[in-house]
Amino acid sequence: MRRAIRTVLSALALAGALLTPALAQDPLKITIGAMANGTVFWELEAMKALGLDKANNVELDVRELADAKAGQIALQAGEVDVILSDFVYVSIQRNSGNMLTFVPHSLAVGGLIVDPAANIAKVEDLKGKTLAISGSPVDKSWAILQAYYGSVTGGNLADEATVRFGAPPLINELITTGQAQASLNLWNWNARAKLAGKTELMSVWDMLKALGVSEQPPLLGWAFTDQTAETKTDALVAFLNASFATKDALRSDDGVWETIRPVMKVGDDDALFTQLRDDYRVGIVRSYDPDHIEAAEQSFALMAEHGGPDVVGDVQTLAPGTFWKGYSK
């Protein structure tokens, strides 16, 4: 009997000795650059609230950035490991010799918002109207809208409408106050426009489908250098695993949204909270196969054809390696 007890105790001690190093393993550290007040903080906050960073043994150092340009500079300078960017920017950088790569974070979402009072029933009705565009003439959604408009009318929307460019809050003001009859804006500002009585005439994804794109492409993703991918592979994979697990929760669990409500900055506006939650869910990426990027290649080709070098850079094809082959989900 005593021999049996000693055997069991010895086995337990051996098991403890084998498990302790794994349990005591230092967390994998990675630095994330994120724009202040950006929706990327919603996922990062949910990740922490759910303990998915710790579950994947990754420690996040999140650094706030003033804007997208600041993030690009910080990434190239090595001040952060990962930023949120779009695959077109990553491709431009690779084709220029700056070796960035990318794993999808969200799908191409958003759409053409119109004022019901403007009698815009189809995209052809934009002719002669005032159209407000978030960003600049090199905005990706603007290039796609121009391509679609041209495909159905044979005309040039930039010549046939009055186009105003500006920051997202300004574009929202123009469409909600009647100074513009239609707009293309970031999806979270489109949510506010919908609550103000405006409607989505056509999504960017519907435009892409009509132009022959096979499936909804990922637009935004986690971008990092090839060097980071080589030197911090385990940390990157751990972070990406935590990211996809968080997306699964955000897609299906309303309770998680209540937890992150403070960072959404909606106050007690339940309608805005619900609209943002539901619209965010539309853009959640469910999986990633780096060998299955046809939709991105097709979308890039459209932007190259209709936006030219100003949108996609000097090389008119998606750079090899834009999508990181070191991860799949």
Give the whole-angstrom CA distance, residue 246 versus residue 249. Answer: 5
- Written as one string, the DSSP assignment of 236-295 is HHHHHHHHHHHHHHHHH-HHHHHHHHHHHT-TT-HHHHHHHHHHHHHTB-----TT--HH
Tens digit of each residue's pLDDT (9 = 90 or more) over 147-188:
999 999 999 999 999 999 999 999 999 999 999 999 999 999
Sequence-separated (6 or more) residues with CB below 8 Å from residue 2: none
Q: What are phi and psi of 232, to 5 degrees?
A: -130, 40
Q: Looking at residues 89-112, what average pLDDT do you find?
A: 93
Residue spans of the domains in the chain: they are 27-107+218-312, 111-210
Tens digit of each residue's pLDDT (9 = 90 or more) over 26-42:
899 999 999 878 899 99
Sequence-separated (6 or more) residues with CB below 8 Å from residue 276: 188, 191, 264, 266
Considering only 88-92, 105-109, 290-294, which range has the smallest mean pLDDT? Answer: 105-109
Sequence-separated (6 or more) residues with CB below 8 Å from residue 297: 317, 318
Helix, strand, or coil (residue 16): helix
Q: CATH number of 27-107+218-312: 3.40.50.970, 3.20.20.70, 3.40.190.10, 3.20.140.10?
A: 3.40.190.10
Q: What six digits make up the tokens of 38?
A: 């950006």
pLDDT for 21 equals 40
Q: What six digits make up the tokens of 261?
A: 């409500």
Q: Could you tell me the pLDDT band of residue 68, with boundaries at 50, 70 and 90?
A: confident
Tens digit of each residue's pLDDT (9 = 90 or more) over 111-153:
999 999 999 999 999 999 999 999 889 889 999 999 999 999 9
Q: Looking at residues 178-204, what average pLDDT do you find?
A: 96
Q: Looking at residues 301-315, what average pLDDT do you find?
A: 91
Largest CA distance in the chain: 94
Q: What DSSP character marks residue 323?
A: B
Q: Looking at residues 62-87, what average pLDDT do you find?
A: 94
Q: What six digits make up the tokens of 17?
A: 């000795």
Does CATH place domain 111-210 in 3.30.70.270? no
